[in-house]
Structure 1
Amino acid sequence: MSSDKHSKQSRIITKVFSPAVRLWLRSQVQQVSHLDVQISGSDRQILTGYIPHVSISAQNAIYQGLYLTQLELKGKSIRTNLGGVLRGQPLRLLEPVPIFGEVRLDEADLNASLKSPLLAEALTHLLKSFLPDSSITQQSVTWEQVILSSDRVTIHGTITSDRKTPLMLDTRLELIDGQKLELKELQIHFDTELFNIDHFQIDLGSEVAIEKLTLTSGQLLCCGRINVLP
């Protein structure tokens, strides 16, 4: 009798909780071609809203305009409002969740991501830190192409004011520690000028811890942790 009850309870979790997790994940992205969610834990744990472990696999996802070729993520010790989900409410996180995983970005997806305000504004902000006396604004810069080689990243764009001026950033990427990236041997071609910067560090913030950053021809691979906040 208890075995039937256990089996029935498992079916309830499968029908209610897993779809709620998938629905929440899909609500976070604009598009995804493949999404697989694996949830592990006892019925008693999950029914209290505690999930010991979740594995997420996604392909061709778009998040805030960023095109992500492939993601393999794992989260643990997740606390949710399962009681509310069972009453028809959307799934919510109750505490920050450390997510460990791997993200692969192909060159074509990075180029598509240049249309995202999130990436375009970050690149323009970076450019303005090197050219503080210029009249560059967010609106005047158009980022057009990213080229990934085995050891360098090259980004082409245009600055539009009275005329259109070609722009190019070319740099090596190096991971300093979990929270810092360093641009090395950075060159900025702007109008007829060439700016050379030996090195420049970018602070990624305390919620990020990158373990590995691998750049190959046409592809960028990133492994590490990010804290997802409620």
Structure 2
Amino acid sequence: MINKLLSTAIKFYLRSQVTKAEDLQVKIVGKNRQILQGYIPQVLLCCNRAVYQGLFLRQIEIHGININFNLPEVLKKKPFKLLEPIIVDIKLGLDAADLQASLDSPLLQSGLSDLWQIILAAQLTDARTEKIVDSVIEWHSIAIASETLNLRGTYQDTTGKVREINLSTGIGLTNDHTLDLSPLKITSESVSSELGEQLEIELGTDVAIEQLVIESEQMLCSGKITINS
């Protein structure tokens, strides 16, 4: 009874966090005595075709341990909440169509904007890039190739004319907290520039990527993340 009630509460909590989730499954591992104290030793969940804040994900698998939660409130049919941060193992899979569909996501747009500023900072020694340093890029497409992401967008030059720009970059791991972008190439009507050195992106201590595979038409990622609430 308690497992069924809790599974339902977790499913309700997860569905409140996503716009869409198909085939959502939750498995709770623990004794009734532990769960009745507000403690779950293990929880496993998986779902297909999830949409989280505009990000389209083909498949998600999550394994969490040592979870303390608000049992008294759950028993009153209130939302499930974590009482302290947990570290979970997570596996994500998405394909080219998912990535293109995610392009309007505020999370992805923010990430691409931050990436563009980092790239420009690394490229400032190249005078040719000065023409687009202050430009806002509107990204229209993103495609997956073997170990490479290709983006196409537009920007306004200093005369107000709309120009096309293309960004191509390989993606690897320097360590579990750092992405390595190399080789990285920018081309447009006025610019053709390639960054010869590695460009590293720090992901922060809440993320630890163990595997990142980018193949034609799909991307697979596994690692650990810290969930604070």
Structure 1, 160-169 or 72-81: larger mean CA deviation: 160-169
Residue 203 of structure 2 is aligned to residue 222 of structure 1: no
Query: What is the aligned partner in structure 1 of residue 184 from structure 2?
Result: 186
Residue 143 of structure 2 is aligned to residue 154 of structure 1: no
SS in 1 for 2:104: coil
The equivalences for 1:28-47 within 5 A come to: 28-47=17-36
Residue 25 of structure 2 is aligned to residue 26 of structure 1: no
Residue 3 of structure 2 is aligned to residue 13 of structure 1: yes
- Cα displacement (A) at 1:34: 2.0
Amino acid corresponding to residue 13 of structure 1 in structure 2:
N
Query: What is the aligned partner in structure 2 of residue 211 from structure 1?
Result: 210
CA distance in 2, matches of 1:123, 1:151: 18
- Cα displacement (A) at 1:121: 2.0
| Counterpart pick for 2:102 among 92, 113, 118 | 113
Amino acid corresponding to residue 53 of structure 1 in structure 2:
Q
Contact 1:75 1:97 in 2 (8 A): yes
Q: Report the RMSD for the aligned CA atoms in angstroms.
A: 1.4
Amino acid corresponding to residue 215 of structure 1 in structure 2:
I
- Cα distance, 1:12–1:206 mapped onto 2, change above 3 Å: closer
Amino acid corresponding to residue 108 of structure 1 in structure 2:
A
Contact 1:31 1:61 in 2 (8 A): yes
Structure 1, 141-150 or 198-207: larger mean CA deviation: 141-150
CA distance in 2, matches of 1:169, 1:111: 15
Q: How many residue pairs were aligned?
A: 216
Deviation readout 1:133-187 (Å, 9 max, x if unpaired): 52223xxx22111221123211111114622211111111111111000001100
The equivalences for 1:112-131 within 5 A come to: 112-131=101-120
- Cα displacement (A) at 1:71: 0.6
CA distance in 2, matches of 1:176, 1:129: 17
Contact 1:48 1:83 in 2 (8 A): no
CA distance in 1, matches of 2:30, 2:54: 33
Structure 1, 94-103 or 150-159: larger mean CA deviation: 150-159
Query: What is the aligned partner in structure 2 of residue 97 from structure 1?
Result: 86
CA distance in 2, matches of 1:12, 1:172: 48
SS in 1 for 2:20: coil
Unaligned stretches of 5+ in structure 2?
122-129
Query: What is the aligned partner in structure 1 of residue 126 from structure 2?
Result: none
- Cα distance, 1:112–1:29 mapped onto 2, change above 3 Å: same
CA distance in 1, matches of 2:99, 2:154: 17
Structure 1, 60-69 or 156-165: larger mean CA deviation: 156-165
Deviation readout 1:64-114 (Å, 9 max, x if unpaired): 111111011100000000111112321110011111021001110000111
Unaligned stretches of 5+ in structure 1?
1-10
